[in-house]
Amino acid sequence: MTISAVVPLLNEEESLRELYRRLSENLNSEGSWEIIFIDDGSTDGSLEVLKNLHAEDPRVRVISFRKNYGKSAALNAGFDAAQGRYVITLDADLQDDPAEIPNLVSKLEEGFDLVSGWKRKRHDPISKTIPSRLFN
């Protein structure tokens, strides 16, 4: 297994199919891969969408928490389950661009131990922008 994409999520029903499409589109050029979605206690239809994606593509793996334990716990569960040589984390809200994966993998294959990306332009709603500016 070359790449494990670890995706923690909470109530992202609307974005999951598009995220899967964009991830698989970009991972297909990188060898063998898996996507591990960690549903952190969603109360919408996220888990049902994930189960359908898994039924359509066995490279999609689903971990489901009965209640919300937080992003750190979800990431830890994903890391424990990951089988890839490289592990990539992305948020499920499409703020992280899966098209950057080949660039990140390229740097890892050059010998870097860790590669990190950041958003140049965010598309957050005002409800996230104001608290972020106040506390970061």
| Identity at 82, one-letter amino acid code | A
Q: What is the pLDDT along the chain (136 residues), one digit of tens a residue?
A: 899 999 999 999 999 999 999 999 999 988 899 999 999 999 999 999 999 999 999 999 999 999 999 999 999 999 999 999 999 999 999 989 999 999 999 999 999 999 998 766 655 566 656 665 666 5
Query: What is 3-135's CATH number?
Result: 3.90.550.10
Q: What is the pLDDT of residue 1?
A: 81
Between the alpha carbon of residue 133 and those of residues 28, 36, 104, 122, 129, the distances in Å are: 37, 31, 27, 13, 6
Q: Phi first, then psi: what are they for 35, rounded to 5°?
A: -115, 125
First-to-final CA distance of the chain: 37
Q: Is the pTM of this model over 0.85?
A: yes
| Paired residues of 38 in beta bridges | 8, 63
Nearest-5° Cα angle at 17, 12 to 21: 130
The maximal CA–CA distance of the chain, rounded, in angstroms, is 43
Domain locations along the chain: 3-135
- State residue 121's pLDDT score: 65
Q: From the centroid of its chain, how far is CA 101?
A: 11
